[in-house]
Structure 1
Amino acid sequence: MTTVPLVATTPELAAWLDANAEAIDTTQTHAPDILPRLAQAGLLRIGVPAESGGSGGTTVDAIRAVAGVAAHSLAASFVFWGQRTFIEYLLHSPNRGLRARWLPALLAGEMAGATGLSNAMKYLSNIEPLQMNAAPLAHDDTGAVTRWTLNGSLPWITNLRHEGFIAAAMFDHNDGAAPSIFAIPHDADGVERSDDLDLIALRSSNTAALKLAGTVLDTHWQIAVDAPAFIAQVRPAFLGLQCGMSIGLARRALDAVATSSAAARDAVSDETAELSHELDLLSGRLFDGVEHGTFLSAPTALFEVRIKLAALVDAAVRLEVLSAGGRGYLRGQGGSPRRTREAAFIPIVTPSIVQLKTQLAQHRRVQAA
């Protein structure tokens, strides 16, 4: 068994997630319910300073909380990750007014926070251009831009709740200014949310496309003026919280092996012990790097942890399938089929494993040169 300490959900939330995990994964029935239930359990406040309305603790505590939810439902933990990552943006943003205005509603689960920075991550990795553009509209007496017209589209953002959301996105500036990050409210003119994407799983995650056409925002909505520097600052939390999804899913799959027959457990005992030990080592490396800030100056070390955790999730879920045998291929006979679908998503969530491996290869080429 693994010994990684996860932050336990409340008994009520755990029971609700276990009872509805299949429906959360395959239907949109519970899409409105996930965020309020996470908030009611107090999970959104973990790792947020008390003076900011949180319950204290560190980002590592928040990662463990994401892992705790992922052990019951990856879709719910995906929503949790998006919300908690957006909260992290506001905690790091120099825009105090934006933080004061929106943080209480985000922590209470009354407003959804969507981290639409997938395009930004790919842009900074030289994979694709920015898909969002900001054109100056008004200036102050010093010549500084105070209002912008925003255009563009993002094909995939999670946690765009129909009940209300605020999304982060990185914008190129056509006046030559550095790319910046804006918070986009759902009810601003020109903001259009698509229908939910036709995903094969994670269907209650409120995942949709977002389009902006002539949306006008001012400095009150700017999360960061220098987007590349800001992303480098928040990346350990962004990826660390994301890794919590892998940790929780791998943990639950390995625990499920213990419920198989004695003969099956004995047959895979060596592999179970090896994967459990590796999960502990990778989790410890992740927690240590996030807690002590070493990933700020060594992001490739964090990339390597994310890559290895994705491989471990795949191995753990395959081991669960192996130990379950034919029983696991029947509907209603445990969560093995769902966790197989969930595991298939881990490598492709941005930054994907392919993108991270590309970054590592570029880093090694630079070092060799």
Structure 2
Amino acid sequence: MNTIIRTQDDALAWAAAHAASLNEGSTHADDAISVLGAAGFFRIGVPVELGGTGGSTWDAAEAIARVAEHSLTAAFVFWGQRCFIGYLLESDNEALRERSLPALLAGELAGATGLSNAMKFLSGIESLSIAATPEADGWRLDGKLPWVTNLRRSGYVVAAAVEPTDGQPPAVVAFFADTPGITRTDDLQLLALRGSNTAAILIDGVASGAGELIHADARRFLPRVRPAFLSLQCGMSIGLARACIGAAKASGSAVRAGLQSRIDALEAGLAHAIEELKEGLASGSFAEQAAPLFKVRIRLAGIVRQAMDLELDATGGRAYLVETTGEFARRWLEAAFVPVVTPSLTQLHGELVRQAALRAA
């Protein structure tokens, strides 16, 4: 990467210029974290005394939204990086935090949230995929993480939940790319977002001890980090919806086609969802009741879908011509990812149904 990044605007310009490349292949995959880190994006919402610039989880989600307006792939790796940083902020393992946080904030080390499986485990959707066999000074880990993002080949650290074989509570641990027994597969052949360094991880006899422990009880830890996990993810939808609405507004045919009322209604709906997200984070209510956050995430995904349709209607046939499609085709493929990123909309709807049944019982 030859571009000099000094400001957040520089990083956003880089993301816009390389959005197609990041979406279609891996040419610039390893650069995104470096660019965002150099611009200080990963320091947003991190306490100043720990190397951050202060602020809240919402500030970090808004930063992800700003990036997503230009490239959902860059925003996706931003989400993974910022989630891992959040895990360290919530961990009691000061040694692990001191070891990893400076490089993560600077974008010199990639952080991956391998907790998608764990979030589904928390909702009773699936079992944990990594077994932890007790040994003299820790555990031996065996299993697989089938889908992990931000596995930059030059170096990464992953968070994962493990299931002890002796009946102890599930725990959350970290392991690094150079840990013996860790194998990163080739990149998954995704429909889009191919520059996100997304692959599977095979775990074979990995030694894990107190130095790698993020939290000893996953059932206590995961509800604490879930609000940030999902809220930061919502930033991706917010940014993509803004980009589509902006493109529709910029189209000369939008007003002629009578689309202004749809634009106004969609902008109002997006603003309302954002306010709900901000309020839930500020009050801490999402940690007490996850259902309202699930509903915001579902609503935002619907807004993205409506915004894509709006952009298509405003652009008309030009959106379907290769020479004039501009960024529409990329955003269309990016938008297809929003409903399926873990937890998927299907999983969220299922969990809401399950919770409603429990309340009724």
- Structure 1-normalised TM-score? 0.94
The code of the aligned residue for 1:348 comes to V
The code of the aligned residue for 2:83 comes to T
The code of the aligned residue for 1:366 comes to L
Aligned residues, how many? 354
The aligned counterpart of 1:198 is 189
For 1:32-78, what per-residue CA distance to the aligned partner results, in whole angstroms no more than 9, with x for missing partners?
Answer: 11000001111010000000000111111101000000000000000
Q: Choose which of 235, 251, 256 in structure 2 pairs with 1:260.
A: 251
For 1:137-181, what per-residue CA distance to the aligned partner results, in whole angstroms no more than 9, with x for missing partners?
Answer: 11xxxxxxx311000001100000001000011000001100001
The code of the aligned residue for 1:117 comes to L
The aligned counterpart of 2:201 is 210
The aligned counterpart of 1:58 is 56
Q: 1:332 to 1:18 in 2, by over 3 A?
A: farther
Q: Choose which of 339, 349, 352 in structure 2 pairs with 1:347.
A: 339
The code of the aligned residue for 1:109 comes to G
Query: Runs in 1 of length 4+ with deviation above 2 angstroms?
Result: 262-266, 330-333
The aligned counterpart of 1:356 is 348
The code of the aligned residue for 1:339 comes to R
Distance 1:39 1:14 in 2: 12
What pairs with 1:76-225 in structure 2 (closer than 5 Å)?
A: 76-138=74-136, 146-225=137-216
Distance 1:314 1:263 in 2: 18
- Report the 3-state secondary structure (helix = DSSP H, G, I; strand = E; otherwise coil) of the residue aligned with 1:201: coil
Segment of structure 1 superposing worse, 348-357 or 123-132: 123-132
Structure 1 residue runs of 5 or longer lacking an equivalent are 1-8, 139-145
What pairs with 1:301-316 in structure 2 (closer than 5 Å)?
A: 301-316=292-307
C-alpha displacement at 1:266, in angstroms? 4.7
C-alpha displacement at 1:122, in angstroms? 1.4
C-alpha displacement at 1:18, in angstroms? 1.5
Tell me whether 1:242 sits opposite 2:233 in the alignment. Answer: yes
Contact 2:47 2:55 in 1 (8 A): yes
Tell me whether 1:42 sits opposite 2:34 in the alignment. Answer: no
C-alpha displacement at 1:332, in angstroms? 4.9
For 1:78-129, what per-residue CA distance to the aligned partner results, in whole angstroms no more than 9, with x for missing partners?
Answer: 0000000000000000111111110001001111000001111111222211
Distance 2:139 2:256 in 1: 61
- Structure 2-normalised TM-score? 0.96
The aligned counterpart of 1:325 is 316
Question: RMSD of aligned C-alpha atoms?
Answer: 1.1
Distance 2:240 2:323 in 1: 19
What is the percentage of aligned positions where both structures have the same residue?
Answer: 49
Distance 1:361 1:247 in 2: 25
Structure 2 residue runs of 5 or longer lacking an equivalent are 1-6
The code of the aligned residue for 2:241 comes to A
The aligned counterpart of 1:337 is 329
C-alpha displacement at 1:10, in angstroms? 2.5
Contact 2:128 2:163 in 1 (8 A): yes
